[in-house]
Amino acid sequence: MASSSSQQEIVENDAFEGIAPAHQISRTPTSARLFDVFINHRGPDVKDTLALQLHKSLTDLGLKTFLDSEEMELGEAFPSTIHDAICSSSVHLAIFSKRYAESAWCLAELDLMLHTKCKIIPIFYDVSPLHLRYIEKGGYAASFAKHKDKGRYPSKLEQWQKSLHTVSFISGYEINKDNHNVEQLCKKVVSAVLKEVKKTHLLEVAKSPVGLNELVEDFERRCCLNTEESGNILGIYGMGGSGKTTLAKELYNRKRSEYKASCFLFDVREASARSEMPSLQTKLLKDLLEENCPKFGSQEEGKNYPKNRLGKRGSFLSFFLVVDDVDHPDQLGALSVKDILNTNSLAIVTTRDESVLVQAGITARYKVKEMNIMHSRQLFCWHAFDRPDPTPGYEDLVESFIKRCGGLPLSIQVIRRLVFGRNDEQYWKSTLDKVSRTLPGVIKQILRISYDTLDREEKQIFMDIACFFTGKEKSMAIRIWEGSGWRAEPSLQVLKDKCLLEEETSINYESTLRMHDHLRDLGREMADELSLPRRIWRPEHLSTLEFKKILATSKAQSLRCLNSIFDRSIGSQILYFLGNRDDIYEAALLWLELDMNWRSHTSVPLWIPLQNLQHLKITRGHFKRLWQRNLQAFFENHETLKSEKYDFKRIILA
């Protein structure tokens, strides 16, 4: 901090006694406003150039950085505010300019910075370390002589000279104001600061934080962060690999310095599965209270301790808590999240399942969606080429890869590893073909976490959507599922809560079912692995030879949903096989869409098995009547088909 007027010099002369001597320095500031970085400088020399740019660069990275006029508030006591900022910061930047020593504030701050024992990074702005080392022979000699002549700070000048001498031996950065690149210097200093802060408590967020600023801004805007509307607990949800934890870590880095204490609890779901909740309870108390806490022998033993212990500290305690990857409300109960929060604190909960947030009463909820094309391209290129755009000649391949990734950050990071460092276009094409046919194992493993939590009926519906109903009308699909005796609506809600499914309103106001390509591929792989029922969805299933093999190994009720991929050449043969095989009458041919441009038929052929059909769409049929009289009589006399859920009036003629 610097002075710039004689009036301020008078204030300084009376105020320095307010800065605590070295032996009284406390690392627990009385102010709730904590900082990561403190910038020590003389304002008239560097504030509008180097100091301001450093402040902006560090703040943009989420570091709480103190720069007097940027951080001082009207009515705050100068000495106590500076004391708290210096003592709470883990890194100190000292910018030495030619007239630096004229400011007693700068010298007093430097002395205090040294006594905190925290990292100091000196920046020599148009001066050299020798200016600080040999004060009597030049350098800052004139500045100290001026202080002596005016009789100011007689008890402090010698100590300040020693502080300058000490700092002169610390490795730093030198810059000449007449021939310098401030932007380049800032990058070097910021990089050095980040290394030091990470050693203490800054979380590693992302190698290439593409689109992260926009994501944080969107989150803060939608959740009304720091307003009464949002409350003091917020929820982040989304499908596996969408970037929930990345967003939470970035928010943690940016916000934690505003609170007296902070805690980030990773992988709560896994810890709970391994019966390790007691260790999380201990970590929670240790981080928030900053003291040794007992190790709990069981989850129940540690359940009420945080509430009782933190409650004794009163409402003055402010803290920031992130509970990552929760899959059940009981986990929040075990950590006493709601009980320990007060109006001065904030908690963020991440999950794959929105219903967890709903059951926990968390009303401010934010869904992390897929990255847009521009950010996907930049992220993929940074990972694949170490640059924001493709290497010439690879543009089309990059577009194909990011289309396959579908805006999923996890997918982009996993797939880019397969091609990183490979300057072989044919290798890229082969890799693209492989990942287009089969999901990489890491991605499949992450996505299966949500799939494995489904019950049997929900899994069946999930696989049906993946194989048949992506992009199809919801009402038609529900009719088919209800025909199978499945509770469709509750199952669909579960899939939506777990971010395995989305609904989209079409032009005609019909709800259609949507699923991320990776989830669709996962569902199809699960369907292929399942022996019963056997879903016929791949085009190769409909070759006569392949279908004969399927029939030979299938039992009654083991076939499900023949899709609308029939044509005259193969569809008629397969349907004929079904219609003439006795045990297949119990099979589930529930959905059939036919292009009946067959002039040889004046009605639906008798050999098409319609007994279990729930949806029939016929295009270009040249019929004199819909079906033969005997088949019509069959439906009229069939009690099940006459019931409401088997209402055959839903046949569509197009």
Q: What mean pLDDT is predicted for residues 494-518?
A: 87
Q: Which of 413, 437, 461 is the last residue of a domain?
A: 437
Q: What mean pLDDT is predicted for residues 335-343?
A: 82
pLDDT band at 571 (very low <50, low <70, confident <90, very high): very low
- Rounded distance, CA 575 to CA 479, Å? 22
Strands in 65-66's sheet, in edge-to-edge order, are 65-66, 37-40, 91-96, 119-125, 173-175
Examine residue 259 and state whether it is found in any structural domain, yes or no.
yes
- pLDDT over 90 at 358, yes or no: yes
185 three-class SS? helix
Residue 327 exposure: Cα atoms within 13 Å on the Cβ side: 19
- 57, 180: one domain: yes
Average the pLDDT over each of 49-63, 474-488, 564-578, 598-612 and give the range with the smallest value: 564-578
Domains identified in the chain, total number: 5
207-228 burial, b if ≥16 CB within 10 A, otherwise e?
A: ebbbbbeebbeebbeebebeee
Contact 113, 167 (CB under 8 A): no
Examine residue 392 and state whether it is found in any structural domain, yes or no.
yes
Task: Report residue 600: phi and psi, to 5°.
Answer: -75, -10
pLDDT at 285: 82
Q: Which of 336, 367, 398 is the last residue of a domain?
A: 367
Instruction: Compute CA distances 484 → 89, 163, 303, 398, 526, whole Å.
Output: 64, 82, 44, 43, 20
pLDDT band at 469 (very low <50, low <70, confident <90, very high): confident
Amino acid of residue 441: G
- pLDDT over 60 at 70, yes or no: no
Is the pTM higher than 0.75? The answer reads no
- Rounded distance, CA 481 to CA 536, Å? 16
638 three-class SS? coil
Contact 448, 441 (CB under 8 A): no
Instruction: Compute CA distances 222 → 234, 372, 376, 498, 628, whole Å.
Output: 11, 18, 22, 21, 60
- 430, 451: one domain: no
Instruction: Compute CA distances 58 → 51, 67, 171, 453, whole Å.
Output: 11, 11, 20, 42
E strand map for 213-288: 233-237, 261-265
Examine residue 207 and state whether it is found in any structural domain, yes or no.
no
- 404, 497: one domain: no
Q: Which of 341, 367, 393 is the last residue of a domain?
A: 367
296 three-class SS? coil
Examine residue 144 and state whether it is found in any structural domain, yes or no.
yes
- 381, 317: one domain: no
Domain that includes residue 555, residue range? 531-654
Between 474-483 and 456-464, two packed helices, what is the crossing angle to 10 degrees? 130
- 220, 363: one domain: yes
Contacts made by residues 154-163, CB under 8 angstroms, sequence distance 24+: 156/16, 156/104, 156/107, 156/108, 156/111, 159/111, 160/101, 160/107, 160/108, 160/110, 160/111, 161/135, 163/107, 163/110, 163/111, 163/114
CB proximity list for 247: less than 8 A, separation 6 or greater: 212, 215, 216, 219, 236, 350, 368
Tell me if the bond preceding 533 is cis, omega within 30° of 0: yes
Residues forming beta bridges with residue 388, ordered by sequence position: none
Residue 30 class from Cβ within 10 Å (0-12 exposed, 13-18 middle, 19+ buried)? exposed
Contact 248, 206 (CB under 8 A): no
pLDDT digits (tens, 9 = 90+) for 377-396: 989 998 888 888 888 889 99
Examine residue 206 and state whether it is found in any structural domain, yes or no.
no
Examine residue 351 and state whether it is found in any structural domain, yes or no.
yes
pLDDT at 307: 65
pLDDT at 594: 60
- 131, 84: one domain: yes
- Rounded distance, CA 345 to CA 261, Å? 9
- 433, 482: one domain: no
Q: Which structure tokens are listed for 578?
A: 């079904």
Residues forming beta bridges with residue 535, ordered by sequence position: 560
Q: Where are the alpha helices (DSSP H) in 290-408?
A: 299-303, 305-311, 329-334, 337-340, 354-359, 373-385, 395-405
Here the CATH number for the domain that contains residue 87 is 3.40.50.10140
- pLDDT over 60 at 561, yes or no: no
pLDDT digits (tens, 9 = 90+) for 407-431: 999 999 899 888 888 888 899 999 9
Here the CATH number for the domain that contains residue 461 is 1.10.10.10
- Rounded distance, CA 513 to CA 406, Å? 17
Examine residue 606 and state whether it is found in any structural domain, yes or no.
yes
- 444, 431: one domain: no
Task: Report residue 588: phi and psi, to 5°.
Answer: -100, 75
Strands in 346-351's sheet, in edge-to-edge order, are 261-265, 319-323, 346-351, 233-237, 364-367
- pLDDT over 80 at 248, yes or no: yes
- 431, 442: one domain: no
pLDDT band at 540 (very low <50, low <70, confident <90, very high): low
Here the CATH number for the domain that contains residue 249 is 3.40.50.300
CB proximity list for 369: less than 8 A, separation 6 or greater: 238, 242, 407
The one-character DSSP state at 207 is S
Contact 595, 567 (CB under 8 A): yes
- Rounded distance, CA 88 to CA 202, Å? 14
- pLDDT over 70 at 592, yes or no: no
**Residue 518 CB coordination number (10 Å):** 23
- pLDDT over 60 at 87, yes or no: yes
pLDDT at 6: 40
pLDDT digits (tens, 9 = 90+) for 128-157: 898 888 887 777 888 888 888 888 778 888
pLDDT at 96: 93
- pLDDT over 50 at 566, yes or no: no
Contact 511, 473 (CB under 8 A): yes
Contact 325, 267 (CB under 8 A): yes
pLDDT at 244: 94
- 496, 422: one domain: no
255-275 burial, b if ≥16 CB within 10 A, otherwise e?
A: bbbbbbbbbbbbebbebbeee
Q: What number of H helices and E strands is found in the chain?
A: 32, 17
Examine residue 205 and state whether it is found in any structural domain, yes or no.
no
- pLDDT over 70 at 579, yes or no: no
pLDDT at 617: 66
**Which of residues 550 and 66 earns the better pLDDT score?**
66
pLDDT at 79: 63
pLDDT digits (tens, 9 = 90+) for 22-46: 444 444 333 334 688 999 998 888 8
596 three-class SS? coil
- Rounded distance, CA 306 to CA 280, Å? 11
- pLDDT over 60 at 586, yes or no: no
- pLDDT over 80 at 544, yes or no: no
- pLDDT over 80 at 17, yes or no: no
- pLDDT over 50 at 439, yes or no: yes
pLDDT band at 327 (very low <50, low <70, confident <90, very high): very high
- 362, 379: one domain: no
- 159, 102: one domain: yes
